[in-house]
Amino acid sequence: MGQPTRDHSSSLATLFHYFASLMIKKLVVLSALAFTVAASAASAQRSSQRSGPIELGIDGGVSFFFASPTITQVALPLQDFRLGYFLNDKAEIEPRFNINSVHSNGGGATTYGFEVGLLLLPNGDRVGNGLYLRPFAGFTGASVTGVASNNSGNAGVGVGVKLPFEDRRLATRMEANYTREFGNGGLNEIGVLIGLSFFTR
């Protein structure tokens, strides 16, 4: 009579181990990538004074998908990695991406996403002091063992704010956004992001 309970507990422990290992790997990979890109950006900045500053960042978030039934996705502390290039003090091009993968007993699932946004900064202060508007477009996809892969294009808009630290090389960033997924009959999503930004200069 006690065996099913032990098996269930073992399964939960295995699942928790996979997700914990996945989060640790994401933290390590994204941290290494951020430092590598920061070093490259700093080197490029020294070689050309005309180059624009770079904003490196990571975000966690909560998303609500208005499907049937409604789906809530929580991705903390990391959901996306982003890299922004300032065209001037009022405009910034920003690609962002994410990838998640879980594998067990020969099977697995991978989800991924990529988008490009244009941050519009009306106040002309790239670090803070005012709201920004971020129209964007991209795609998301999923691949599950034994199931056909699928992907979907999307577009949306976000409104947010950057709250700089005292030295203005770091800033907290918060955003609320709306996304329209075009695949599988269409899907509406409302999301909230909170993250950290590092500015090369």
CA within 13 Å, CB half, 142:
8
Mean pLDDT of the chain: 80
Query: Quick check: bond before 4 cis, omega within 30?
Result: no
Q: Are 127 and 92 in contact (CB under 8 A)?
A: no
41 burial class (0-12, 13-18, 19+ CB within 10 angstroms)?
Answer: buried
Nearest alpha-carbon partner for 198 in 35, 23, 25: 35
Closest CA to 192 of 69, 33, 68, 61: 61
Residue 128 banded pLDDT, cuts 50, 70, 90: low
pLDDT at site 33:
52
Question: For residue 51, what pLDDT band results from cuts at 50, 70 and 90?
Answer: low
Structural tokens at position 179: 């996304």
Predicted confidence at residue 97, as pLDDT, reads: 95
The predicted-structure confidence for 9-30, as pLDDT tens digits, reads as follows 444 444 445 444 555 555 555 5
Q: How confident is the model at residue 106 (pLDDT cuts 50, 70, 90)?
A: confident
Per-residue model confidence as pLDDT tens digits over 150-182: 889 999 999 999 999 887 889 999 999 999 999
Residue 46 CB coordination number (10 Å): 9
The range of the structural domain enclosing residue 151 comes to 3-199
- Give CA–CA dist 198/151, Å, rounded: 31
The CATH number assigned to the domain holding 58 equals 2.40.160.20
Q: Cβ distance 173 to 196 under 8 Å? A: yes
The yes-or-no verdict on residue 40 having pLDDT over 60 is no
pLDDT band at 196 (very low <50, low <70, confident <90, very high): very high
Residue 147 predicted with pLDDT over 90? no
Which pLDDT score, from 0 to 100, does residue 145 have? 87
Is this prediction's pTM over 0.75?
no
pLDDT tens, residue by residue, 61-104? 999 999 888 999 999 888 899 999 999 989 999 999 999 888 88
- 183 pLDDT band, cuts 50/70/90, is confident
| % of the chain exceeding 90 in pLDDT | 47
When divided into structural domains, the chain yields a total of: 1
